[in-house]
Chains A and B, each alone.
Chain A
Amino acid sequence: MLELLNTLYVTTPGAYVRLDHETVRVEADGAKLLQVPVLHLRGIVCFGNVMVSPAVMQRFAQDRRSVVFLDDRGRFAARVQGPTAGNVLLRWEQYEAARSLARSAAIARAIVGGKIQNARFLLQRAARETPDSAESKTLRDCVADLAGILERLKAASEINVIRGLEGEAARRYFGSWDLMIKRDRQAFALQGRQRRPPTNPMNALLSFLYTLLTGECIAAAEGVGLDPQIGYLHELRPGRPALALDLVEELRPSVADRLAIALINLRQATSDDFVTRPGGAIHLSDAGRKKVIVAYERRKQEQVYHPVLDRKVPIGLIPHVQARLLARHLRGDLDHYVPWLYR
Chain B
Amino acid sequence: MVTGAVPDEYWVPISALQHYSYCPRQCALIHLEQTFDENLYTLRGRAVHERVDVPGVAVEAGVRIERGLVLWSDRLGLVGKADVVEFHGEVPYPVEYKHGSRRASEHDDLQLCAQALCLEEMLGVPVPRGAIYHHSSRHRREVVFTPELRERVTVVLQEVRALLSARLLPPAVNDTRCPRCSLIDSCLPRPVQDRRRIEDLLQEVFNTGLEEGETSA
Q: Which residues of A are in contact with B by a Cβ distance under 8 Å?
A: 1-3, 39, 63, 85-87, 89-90, 110, 113-114, 117, 120, 124, 140-141, 143-144, 147, 150-151, 153-154, 224-225, 307-310, 324-325, 328, 331-336, 338-339, 341
Question: What residue of chain A has the Cβ atom nearest to residue B208's Cβ?
Answer: A147
Of B185, B186, B190, B202, which is in contact with the most chain A CB atoms at under 10 Å from its CB?
B202
Contact A334 B198 (CB under 8 A): yes
Query: What are 23 A-to-B residue pairs whose CB atoms are below 8 Å?
Result: A2-B185, A3-B39, A63-B38, A86-B34, A89-B33, A114-B205, A117-B205, A117-B206, A120-B211, A124-B211, A124-B214, A143-B211, A144-B212, A147-B212, A308-B188, A324-B185, A325-B191, A333-B169, A334-B191, A335-B195, A336-B199, A338-B205, A341-B201
When A1-B39, A1-B185, A331-B33 are in contact, do A310 and B212 touch as well, CB less than 8 Å?
Answer: no
Check A154/B206 contact, CB under 8 A, given A324-B188, A335-B198: yes
- Bound complex: CA A2 to CA B169 (Å): 21
A215 to B169, CA, bound (A): 30
Chain B: minimal CB distance from A110 (Å): 6
Q: How many contacts A-B (CB < 8 Å)?
A: 93
Q: Is B142 an interface residue (CB 8 A)?
A: no
Judge if B167 is at the interface, Cβ distance under 8 Å: yes
Are B205 and A143 in touch, CB under 8 angstroms?
no
**Chain A residues, CB < 8 A from B199:** 335-336
Q: Whole-angstrom distance between the alpha carbons of A224 and B185 in the complex?
A: 11
| B212 contact set on A, CB distance < 8 A | 144, 147
Chain A nearest CB, measured from B172 CB (Å): 8
CA distance A307 to B188 in the complex (A): 13
Minimum CB–CB distance for B202 against chain A, Å? 5
Q: Given A1-B40, A324-B186, A325-B191, do A308 and B206 touch, yes or no (CB 8 Å)?
A: no
Residue B32, interface by CB 8 Å: yes
CA distance A331 to B169 in the complex (A): 8
B198, A333: Cβ atoms under 8 Å? no
Judged by a CB distance under 8 angstroms, whether B176 is at the interface is no
**Quick one: CB contact mask for B3-31 with A, threshold 8 Å, 1 for yes?**
00000000000000000000000000000
Asked whether B151 is an interface residue with its Cβ less than 8 Å from the other chain, the reply is no
Give chain B residues whose Cβ lies under 8 Å from the Cβ of A151: 206, 208
Residues of B with C-beta under 8 A to A154: 206
Residues of B with C-beta under 8 A to A63: 38
> A336 contacts B33, CB within 8 Å?
no
Name B107-126 residues within 8 Å CB distance of A: none
B192 at the interface (CB under 8 A from A): yes
User: Min CB distance, A221 to chain B, in Å?
Assistant: 14
Q: State whether B39 touches A39 (Cβ < 8 A).
A: no
Report yes or no: A110 in contact with B208, Cβ–Cβ below 8 A: no
Quote the shortest CB–CB distance from B26 to chain A (angstroms): 14
- Not counting A147-B211, A310-B190, A336-B202, a sample of 10 additional A-B residue pairs whose C-beta atoms are within 8 angstroms of each other reads A3-B38, A39-B43, A114-B205, A144-B212, A150-B206, A151-B206, A308-B191, A332-B169, A336-B198, A341-B204
CB-CB nearest in chain B for A310? B190
Q: How many angstroms from the CA of A117 to the CA of B204 in the assembled complex?
A: 9
Q: Which residues of B contact A310 (CB under 8 A)?
A: 190
In the bound assembly, the distance between CA atoms of A147 and B202 in angstroms comes to 16
Give Cα distance in the complex from A86 to B186, angstroms.
13
Whether B37 is near chain A, meaning CB under 8 Å from some CB there, is yes
**Is A2's CB under 8 angstroms from B192's CB?**
no
Give chain B interface residues in 22-66, CB to chain A under 8 Å: 32-35, 37-40, 43
CB < 8 Å: which of B33, B40, B190, B211 contacts A87? B33
Give the residues in chain B near A113, CB-CB below 8 Å: 205-206
Other-chain contact of A309, B35, B188, B195, B211 (Cβ < 8 Å): B188
Please name all residues of chain B whose beta carbon is closer than 8 Å to the beta carbon of A140 when the two chains form the complex: 214-215
Q: Which residues of A contact B208 (CB under 8 A)?
A: 147, 150-151
Contacts of B195 in A (CB 8 A): 335
Please, which residues of chain A bring their CB within 8 A of the CB of B198? 308, 334-336, 338
The winner among B37, B191, B195 for most chain A CB atoms within 10 A is B191
User: Closest CB-CB distance, A304 to chain B, in whole Å?
Assistant: 15
Closest to B188 in A: A328
Q: Are A87 and B32 in contact (CB under 8 A)?
A: yes
Q: Which residues of B contact A309 (CB under 8 A)?
A: 188, 190-191
**CB distance A3 to B206 under 8 Å?**
no
Residues of B within 8 A of A3 (CB): 38-40
| A141 / chain B contacts, CB cutoff of 8 Å | 215
Give the complex CA separation of A154 and B211 in angstroms. Answer: 17
Separation of A308 and B197 alpha carbons in the complex (Å): 8
